[in-house]
Structure 1
Amino acid sequence: MIHVVIGTKAQLIKMAPLLAYFKRHGMPYHYISTGQHKATIDEILANFDLRAPDTLLYNGPDITSIKQMAVWGAKLLWRTFWHSREVFPGDRTKSIVLVHGDTFSTLLGALMGKFAGLKVGHVESGLRSFNWFHPFPEEITRLLTFKLSDYFFCPGEWAVNNLVKEKGHKINTINNTLYESLQAALSVIERITDVEIPLHTYAVVTLHRYENVYKVEALSRIVNLIEQIATSCPLLFILHKPTEINLKKFGFYQRLVDNSRIELRPRYDYFRFIKLLHGAHFVVSDGGSNQEECYYLGKPVILLRQSTERKEGIGKNCVLSCYDPQVIDEFLNHVDDYRYTFKPQTESPCQIIAGQCLQFATKINDDKV
């Protein structure tokens, strides 16, 4: 059995094409949701024609604070420790637990798999910024997950090389599974008619990282930079829930509402978001997924970050701002120079991962005989 632990919207988007591959090829899988995020999850499942979670570990409000994460995580680990057979049903001699990325759900899933005595496979493994505090806590989460993993699915040789000191099987999936998520979205966006696309030129803004939104000084800097960018191009600011909460908490929300160059919008499901992104002149983000999407689309993107753990687009369509207003101005003044043509890929990361899962299940079974 292939157990897949997913907790956030971003994880589901990136794992959805893999679950769809399992479904198409009749490969049994058990989808475990940690319940970390709920907003738009049902819509994303509908986007990819996937079933609801087989096991839901938590059914309360979205987990958006460090304090909430600590309590929620402890409860999930306690439940898994005492009820591992319920969480991970089936023949354990042929089972693997897949976790994804660098969220708290990633680490929880890996810990739960280890508690249950199962092998752990880490999808999107090997990413490193080599700075413990940028991004925080994602870099620390990755390092801990590496130590718990037996199989590392890496989106490129550079990611494989980052794991040279880790024990286990390293597999190069060539690209990120997000490439296949994006292709699925692009195949249908022309038929999506219920998203309001501005008639004028616009850019999309999406920000959510801890280092940008959870402290008043950091969020004040972000708001100042967004206002700077808005003087160059009208903005559609897609609000993650923690971002919206903290904009209101620290008194910046109304300031953005009153800016005629900035339109605040709620989050969308994946396919509708990609329709907006596809039509944007450029993108402003602090998200790794957005960096990857823009690379595959050849879309100019400015990252409001100090560092990035990803290689996609750097030196081509992607500029790391380091929060420097002059770097941002340079990007805005030459934005068309950052358009990039990405060569379509024939390799399927999902096919590589699925094939390896079958081989691993056979090897695990043979090892236990």
Structure 2
Amino acid sequence: MIHIILGTKAQLIKMAPVMRELEKRDAPYRFIFTGQHYQTIDWLLDNFGIREPDVFLNYKAIDVTGVMQMAKWLWHCWYEAKRREDEIFAPGDGWVLVHGDTISTLFGAALGWRAGKMVAHVESGLRSFDYLNPFPEELVRMMAFRFSHLYFCPTNWAADNLRHYKGEKIITGGNTLMDSLRMVLKENLGPQPDIPQKPYGIVSVHRFENIFQKAHLERIIRIMEFVARKYYLLFILHPPTEKKLKKFGFYGRLNDNPFIELRPRHDYFSFIKLCRQSSFMMTDGGSNQEESSYLGLPCLLLRRRTERQEGLGENVLLSKYSQEKIDAFFQSLDSFRRPPLLLNSSPSVCICDFLLRQGETCQRQTSSP
């Protein structure tokens, strides 16, 4: 039996193709949802045609947006997991699939390890090599590696980063997000978003290092205001970001700017439609970096470091908050656009082939410490 433990919007987006592939093959799996991001679960299940979770560990219909909320949520999930352990995991051997670098990743890996299951980490081997950038994702990844027995790595570079860890490294030839995007572009499902009738850029910011200190968030706002002198911006608000904007008194400042439009978070299919029609993206999100890379969309990364290689040196520029780099990006914006890059291979098929032993679409790399 395969047990898939997820908790955030990004995890569900990236693991939806894997779950759909399992369903296509009539392969049984259990979907355990931690509820770290709860408000968008219905949108995503509907977008991707995924069934309801088998187990909800947190029924509070809110997203976890603060440190105290995170602590309470984590305690509640651990309590529920211990209380309902027989309900969560099917008896006998099996795999526990976790994804990425969220607290739900670490929770799921620890839970599977404690239950004596084999833990497989999807999107494994990514590193920024800086424990504080991004924080706490880099630390979560390092701990998740320790709990894992099998590593699904998007590239050889990622697999090489795991050379000191025991276990088999499977190179999937890309990230499962490629399958998610292919699904959106092929099926053209979901509602049509309100697309501006003029050129625009998309802004998406949510990382701890950018929003949890007033000075850091104001730095992002100043960059946006600078860019808005020339370009119309759609600022897609994550719940933690909106909360901090209001707490620090910046929400009204942005809302009063006629060249910056504040928008609530969209469902995934609508968001990708907005991206495809936009001129560029400014973001601190790793998933957004990947999406931009696959879509060929110019992307200014509002971070000091990134754990991903996708798009760097091509359509993605790591700003390091440097005004010189920001100026260079917008002065030669057209040079950062390139044709979409969606490979014919499917990372999700590779993962399912390996777990079900139904094919050889993956490259293996085995190493020991």
Fold agreement, TM-score > 0.5: yes
Structure 2: 5+ residue stretches without partners? 359-369
Match of 2:125 in 1: 126
Q: Aligned residue for 2:326? A: 328
1:294 match: 292
Residue 67 of structure 2 aligns with which residue?
A: 66
Task: Tell me how large the CA RMSD over aligned residues is.
Answer: 1.3
The question of whether the paired residues in 2 share the 8 Å contact of 1:80 and 1:116 is answered with: no
Superposed CA deviations along residues 269-302 of structure 1, whole A, max 9, x for unmatched, are 1100000011000001000001001101111000
Alignment of 1:9-158 (within 5 A): 9-60=9-60, 61-88=62-89, 90-93=90-93, 95-158=94-157
Larger mean CA deviation between 115-124 and 74-83 belongs to: 74-83
> How far apart are the structure 2 equivalents of 1:274 and 1:194?
10
- Taking the aligned partners of 2:119 and 2:249, their CA distance within structure 1 comes to 43
Paired residue for 1:226? 224
SS of 1:58's partner is coil
Matched-pair contact (CA < 8 Å) for 1:154–1:172: yes
Partners of 1:268 and 1:188 lie apart in 2 by: 18
Does the CA-based 8 Å contact 1:206-1:284 persist in structure 2? Answer: yes
- The aligned residue for residue 363 of structure 2 is none
Contact 1:81-1:116 at 8 Å conserved across structures: no
Amino acid at match of 1:168: G
Instruction: Tell me the CA shift for residue 193 of structure 1.
Output: 5.3
Q: 303, 306, 309: which is aligned to 1:305? A: 303
Q: Distance in 1 between matches of 2:191 and 2:128?
A: 39
> Which secondary structure does the structure 1 equivalent of 2:290 belong to?
helix
Counterpart Cα distance in 1 of 2:168 and 2:71: 31
Q: Structure 1: which 5+ runs fail to align?
A: 361-369
Q: CA-to-partner distance for each residue in 1:178-206, whole Å, 9 max, x for gaps?
A: 000001111244x6553111110000111
Q: What is the CA–CA distance in structure 1 between the aligned matches of 2:306 and 2:191, rounded to whole Å?
A: 34
* 1:203 matched residue in structure 2: 201
Distance in 1 between residues matched to 2:158 and 2:200, nearest whole Å: 34
Residues in 2 aligned to 1:91 and 1:359: alpha-carbon distance in whole angstroms: 20
Which residue identity is paired with 2:144?
T
Inter-CA distance 264–343: structure 2 relative to 1 (3 Å threshold): closer
Q: CA deviation at 1:115?
A: 1.5
How many angstroms apart in 2 are the aligned matches of 1:82 and 1:359? Answer: 33
Question: Contact 1:234 / 1:261 at 8 angstroms: preserved in 2?
Answer: yes
Question: Deviation at 1:359?
Answer: 3.6
Runs of 4+ in 1 over 3 A off after TM superposition: 191-194
TM-score normalized by structure 1? 0.94
Is residue 269 of structure 2 the alignment partner of residue 268 of structure 1?
no
After superposition, what is the alpha-carbon deviation per residue over 1:117-156, rounded to whole angstroms, capped at 9, x for unaligned? 1110000000000000000000000000000000100011
Kept in 2, the 8 Å contact 1:80–1:115? The answer is no
The letter for the 2-side match of 1:328 is: I
Q: What SS is found at the alignment partner of 1:59?
A: coil
Q: Distance in 2 between matches of 1:194 and 1:297?
A: 18
Cα offset, 1:83, TM superposition:
3.0
AA at the equivalent of 2:276:
H
Question: Are residues 114 and 193 of structure 1, via their aligned partners in 2, closer, same or farther at CA, if it must alter by over 3 Å?
Answer: closer
Q: How far apart are 1:342 and its partner, in Å?
A: 4.2
Q: Alignment length, in residue pairs?
A: 357
